[in-house]
Amino acid sequence: MTTRGRFAPSPSGRMHLGNAWTALMAWLSARSQGGAVVLRMEDLDPERSKEHFARAILQDLAWLGLDWDEGPDKGGPYGPYRQDERREYYQRCLELLEARGLVYPCWCTRAELRDAALAAKAGSAPGTGHECGTPCVAHADVVRAPHAGEAEPVYAGTCLNLSVSEREARQAQGRRPSLRLAVPALHIEFTDLALGPQTQDLAAHCGDFVLRRADGTHAYQLAVVADDAAQAITEVVRGADLLDSTARQIHLFRAFGWPEPAFAHVPLLLDPDGRRLSKRRGDVDLGLLRESGVSAQAITGYLAWKAGLLDAPRLVSPHELIDGFSFAPMPRGPVVVGPGWMEEVA
Ligand code: GLU
């Protein structure tokens, strides 16, 4: 089977070195297997996604020397390649699960979810008998790719246990619920191409997760699986901040009866203070680097060196790295990008 890899950027900002790193590794892995590269724009979040960022991302990827066989700018057999244009398809997928009784409405507010998660952390049993009595909020955090620190708290199952009359009472108030998948007590095992064998306890680590927000937006977990399946993706290479999502996604692939792709989670690039790189730091913003005259080959060389693909940073194009690409020399833990990183560049 031909490898089909993908980049799935969210157009909520300009690209920084961390996004370039992930895109480069996804591209190298697919190309080193003679595979196709699919570019999918994950612009599902109406508040954060901006068209000018989507355009800039395409330009920045091309400037880096990466190319793709299918994408929003060039079409392809598995389009559309923008999530914004695939909402009806996500709804049909959701309805497949609903028809099997796997989905239930949840009226919990964000404050209640936070309190329940805190209570669970403190060791008291949250959930049973807890009232979802206050107005619903759009669970804005769940539609986003849940980066480290922004993850959805494990749900206590509160609304799963509502009686019919309790559900009707909430419905009668006219509040729109979010929709959650009821997850069984299961361990999901998979072998990550970069990190090796992984086990995640679905119920304990993820809980019943949101498939559609109260405002009607389909959640990242549902959309990404629906798209990877429909676009025949065989390999997902992405940042280690999304490792936590993988059990949920594998569970969804299996629940739908779709073949699951292989996964590789590449280390995060961090600031010296341990935070994820942010475009607020000017010296890692791809647009600013480009404008200040830094060459794409110098950036690629630095990233390839950090990935263990080069012994020392040098000017190199992505194409020169295809031969012999492997995840094996890549560090397992995060990679710190210090303020002087540019001096290490050729
Ligand atoms: N859109 C996500 C992001 O930009 C990536 C999702 C994925 O690769 O599964 O972080």
**pLDDT one-digit tens code per residue, 212-257:** 999 999 999 999 999 999 999 999 999 999 999 999 999 999 999 9
Give the separation between CA 98 and CA 103, rounded to whole angstroms: 5
Q: Which structure tokens are listed for 110?
A: 């964000």
Q: Which domains does the chain have, with CATH numbers?
A: 4-84+267-345 (3.40.50.620), 88-188+196-221 (3.90.800.10)
Distance 111 CA to ligand 1 centre (A): 26
- Rg (the chain; Cα; Å): 21
Give the rounded distance of the alpha carbon of 39 from its chain centre.
Answer: 14
The pLDDT of residue 346: 60
Q: Is-contact 299 269, C-beta < 8 A?
A: no
> Which residues neighbour 308 within 8 Å (Cβ) at sequence distance 6 or greater?
328, 329, 330, 331
Check whether 137 has a pLDDT greater than 70.
no
Cβ–ligand 1 distance for 222 under 6 Å, the answer no
Average pLDDT of the chain, as a whole number:
89
The pLDDT of residue 140: 35
Q: What's the burial of 18, exposed, middle or buried (CB within 10 Å: 0-12/13-18/19+)?
A: buried
Report helix, strand or coil for 134.
Answer: coil
Ligand 1 atom having least distance to the Cα of 147: 10
Cβ–ligand 1 distance for 38 under 6 Å, the answer no
What is the mean pLDDT of the segment spanning 165-173? 92
Check whether 260 has a pLDDT greater than 50.
yes
The pLDDT of residue 151: 62
Cβ–ligand 1 distance for 10 under 6 Å, the answer yes
The pLDDT of residue 92: 98
At 119, the pLDDT band (50, 70, 90 cuts) reads confident
The pLDDT of residue 111: 83
Q: Which amino acid is at 159?
A: C
pTM: 0.91
What is the mean pLDDT of the segment spanning 186-211? 95
Cβ–ligand 1 distance for 26 under 6 Å, the answer no
For residue 246, is it left (φ>0), alpha (ψ between -120 and 50) or beta?
Answer: alpha
User: Helix crossing, 220-230 with 246-256: angle to 10°?
Assistant: 60
Check whether 128 has a pLDDT greater than 90.
no
At 123, the pLDDT band (50, 70, 90 cuts) reads low
Check whether 66 has a pLDDT greater than 90.
yes
Q: Is-contact 103 72, C-beta < 8 A?
A: no
Instruction: Determine which residue's CA is closest to atom 10 belonging to ligand 1.
Output: 145
The pLDDT of residue 266: 98
Distance 166 CA to ligand 1 centre (A): 37
Distance 114 CA to ligand 1 centre (A): 24
- Give the C-alpha distances (Å, rounded to integers) separating 36 from 92, 192, 234, 300: 27, 20, 10, 20
Q: What are the start-end ranges of the H helices in the chain?
A: 17-32, 51-64, 87-99, 110-121, 140-143, 164-172, 220-230, 246-256, 286-291, 296-306, 341-344
Ligand 1 atom having least distance to the Cα of 12: 4
| Listed residue (282, 279, 265, 261) closest to 331, CA to CA | 265
The pLDDT of residue 132: 26
Distance 239 CA to ligand 1 centre (A): 8
Check whether 263 has a pLDDT greater than 90.
yes
Q: Which amino acid is at 192?
A: D
The pLDDT of residue 339: 87
Cβ–ligand 1 distance for 242 under 6 Å, the answer yes
Ligand 1 atom having least distance to the Cα of 22: 8
Pairing of strands 103-106, 196-201: unpaired
What is the mean pLDDT of the segment spanning 84-113? 95
Cβ–ligand 1 distance for 235 under 6 Å, the answer no
**Site to substitute for ligand 1 among 24, 224, 266, most atoms within 8 A of C-beta:** 224
